[in-house]
């Protein structure tokens, strides 16, 4: 298995090199050269396999022969042993919809699924290469803590995480800043998540800096993130399909940076019988406008009840665009250049029709999010977090009555107590991992959203 960049200048990487490179050195995003196919026999076999077994079967198809298979199996098992549910990502049925609970990891959001794995993978590769790494990441609230928990206390790694100051929930902030291990650095930036993501990309695109400080990426620009997220689409299908007897299934995905739903798109390309991928957004609905009208034009970031999705420029969109344009790097580079200056792309009817073969979409605003949490709670007794509520709203509105819909529950409601309180007048149940979090020591520094300042900060504290 070899990897190449969407922009065509990086062409022939091993899986291990792709993981270490993070952002491709030509500014693009890495993708496998071929997409492995999963046939119906294998799909049926998944029905009796555990989550780590399915994860191994899928991930090993992307790693190639130079990854010791026993080591990979052990690494995957260790990554999912930290989850507090025996099924890792259990599926529950509530009033006709299937909820895929992705929040049973250490930081209570779906990011743990990939970042427990990536943290162990980095450790393994750095040991093998006798190297060190400085991770630079941006978060709108969940990637940050999941990445920190994935690498805290690990030799050979320092991690620098930027979050938008004042724009993450109190629990999200505490989950990051109360990890005071020596290798963890939290930066509250005066700006938005998009500013943080821009700083990450600009820093990685300075190839001398990237090499000198051995930068590593934990955001979904890193292919390993997407890869680990593909697994739960297959897992959900293996649990839901036998119960319903339907061949095809819809997935509804609350979307911000387009990583999670892109993993679903890859699963579909691998052969998973997906009917529709429902892309659910909050008021930051650039992706929804793209799916429905071919309009990908950046607006101002709006603060919503689902802060982790308060994103305008979705980094994985480039990966999808590459496939939409028929795997043509030259056209893709043209579009990315034009987007860099105009902050807007418009797609014609033919391309729009192609998008609609895979995706449908709905924007769910604040009022609808609150209403969805309240109404769902009244119907089922189940408490949705505001991001999941956005996805469930879209899933209930857009899925075909004859097709089962799996809604991705991307965070535990306890991370967003205020929104839940507003909707149902009571606090969500608090998992034990949050006990006493407000009393723990914390560490965080405020910094301007300027690439050179962040680079200087990192350079002074780098491994
Ligand atoms: C809780 C939660 N739900 C949904 C999303 C959206 O996922 P993605 O960015 O992969 O589209 C995020 C982060 O982006 C998140 O943290
Ligand atoms: N919602 C994310 C945003 C970053 O997305 P990523 O998937 O690219 O890491 C977050 O919680 O930080």
Active site residue 33: no
Q: What is the mean pLDDT of residues 434-441?
A: 98
Burial code of 242-276, b = ≥16 C-beta within 10 A, e = fewer? eeeeeebbbbbbbbbbbbbbbbbbbbbebbbebbb
Residue at 256 is within a domain: yes
Q: Which residue range is the domain that position 325 belongs to?
A: 91-108+224-424
Q: 41 by DSSP, 3-state: which?
A: helix
Residue at 175 is within a domain: no
| CB of 141 closer than 6 angstroms to any ligand 2 atom | yes
Residue 438 has which token pair? 């407000």
| Cα 331 to Cα 7, 30, 322, 334, distances in angstroms | 9, 17, 9, 5
Residue 66 has pLDDT above 90, yes or no: no
Per residue in 260-289, pLDDT (tens digit) is 999 999 999 999 999 999 999 999 999 999
Bridge partners, residue 162, by sequence: 138, 187
Residue at 284 is within a domain: yes
β-strands 184-190, 445-448 pairing: parallel
Q: What is the pLDDT of residue 3?
A: 98
Q: What is the pLDDT of residue 4?
A: 98
Mean pLDDT (the chain) is 98
Residue 254 alpha carbon, nearest atom of ligand 1: 4
Q: What is the pLDDT of residue 64?
A: 85
Per residue in 216-250, pLDDT (tens digit) is 999 999 999 999 999 999 999 999 999 999 999 99
- Residue nearest ligand 1's atom 13 by CA: 308
Residue at 306 is within a domain: yes
Residue at 39 is within a domain: no
Q: What is the mean pLDDT of residues 183-189?
A: 98
Residue at 103 is within a domain: yes
Residue 252 has which token pair? 């509804």
Residue 80 has which token pair? 């999912």
Q: What is the mean pLDDT of residues 108-123?
A: 98
Q: What is the pLDDT of residue 16?
A: 98
Residue 172 has pLDDT above 90, yes or no: yes
* Marked catalytic residue, from 16, 33, 111, 366: 111
Q: What is the pLDDT of residue 65?
A: 84
CA distance 262 to 277: 9
pLDDT confidence tier of residue 40, bands split at 50, 70 and 90: very high
Residue at 260 is within a domain: yes
Residue 129 has pLDDT above 90, yes or no: yes
Q: What is the mean pLDDT of residues 288-293?
A: 98
CATH code for the domain of 258:
3.40.50.1100
CA distance 179 to 174: 8
Per residue in 319-344, pLDDT (tens digit) is 999 999 999 999 999 999 999 999 99
pLDDT confidence tier of residue 55, bands split at 50, 70 and 90: very high
Ligand 2 site-directed mutation target among 259, 281, 385, most atoms within 8 Å of CB? 259
Ligand nearest to the CA of 108: 1
CA distance 114 to 347: 32
| CB of 332 closer than 6 angstroms to any ligand 1 atom | no
Residue 257 alpha carbon, nearest atom of ligand 1: 9
Residue 108 has pLDDT above 90, yes or no: yes
CA distance 240 to 249: 8
Q: How many domains does the chain have?
A: 1
Please report, rounded to a whole number, the percentage of residues in the chain having pLDDT higher than 90: 99
CA of 414 to the centre of ligand 1 (A): 16
Residue at 246 is within a domain: yes
């Amino acid at each position: 298995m070899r990897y190449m960049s969407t922009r065509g200048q990086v062409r022939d990487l091993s899986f291990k090199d792709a993981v270490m490179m993070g952002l491709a050195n030509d500014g693009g995003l890495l993708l496998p050269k071929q997409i492995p196919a999963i046939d119906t026999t294998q799909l049926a076999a998944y029905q009796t396999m555990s989550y780590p077994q399915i994860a191994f079967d899928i991930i090993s198809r992307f790693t190639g022969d130079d990854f010791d298979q026993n080591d990979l199996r052990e690494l995957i098992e260790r990554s999912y042993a930290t989850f507090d549910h025996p099924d890792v990502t259990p599926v529950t049925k509530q009033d006709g919809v299937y909820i895929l609970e992705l929040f049973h990891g250490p930081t209570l959001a779906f990011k743990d699924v990939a970042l427990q794995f990536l943290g162990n993978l980095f450790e393994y590769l750095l040991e093998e290469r006798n190297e060190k790494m400085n991770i630079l990441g941006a978060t709108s609230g969940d990637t940050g803590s999941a990445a920190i928990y994935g690498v805290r206390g690990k030799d050979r790694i320092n991690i620098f995480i930027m979050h938008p100051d004042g724009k993450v929930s109190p629990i999200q902030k505490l989950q990051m800043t109360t990890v005071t291990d020596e290798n963890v650095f939290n930066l509250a930036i005066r700006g938005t998540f998009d500013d943080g993501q821009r700083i990450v990309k600009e820093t990685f695109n300075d190839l001398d800096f990237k090499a000198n400080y051995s930068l590593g990426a934990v955001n979904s620009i890193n292919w390993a993130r997407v890869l680990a997220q593909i697994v739960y689409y297959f897992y959900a299908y293996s649990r839901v399909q036998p119960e319903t007897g339907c061949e095809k299934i819809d997935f509804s995905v609350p979307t911000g940076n387009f990583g999670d739903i892109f993993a679903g798109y890859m699963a579909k390309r691998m052969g998973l019988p997906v009917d529709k991928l429902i892309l659910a957004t909050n008021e930051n609905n650039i992706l929804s406008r793209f799916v429905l009208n071919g309009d990908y034009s950046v607006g101002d970031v709006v603060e919503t009840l689902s802060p982790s999705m308060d994103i305008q420029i979705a980094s994985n969109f480039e990966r999808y665009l590459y496939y939409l344009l028929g795997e043509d790097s030259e056209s893709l580079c043209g579009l990315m250049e034009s987007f860099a200056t105009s902050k807007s792309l418009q797609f014609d009817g033919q391309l729009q029709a192609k998008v609609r073969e895979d995706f449908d979409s709905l924007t769910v605003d604040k009022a609808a999010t609150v209403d969805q949490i309240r109404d769902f709670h009244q119907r089922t007794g189940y408490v949705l977090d505001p991001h999941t509520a956005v996805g469930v709203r879209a899933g209930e509105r857009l899925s075909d009555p004859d097709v089962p819909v799996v809604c991705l529950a991307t965070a535990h409601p306890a991370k967003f107590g205020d929104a839940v309180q507003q909707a149902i007048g009571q606090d969500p149940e608090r998992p034990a991992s949050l006990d006493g979090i407000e009393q723990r020591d914390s560490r965080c520094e405020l910094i301007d959203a300027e690439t050179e300042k962040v680079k200087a900060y990192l350079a002074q504290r780098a491994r």
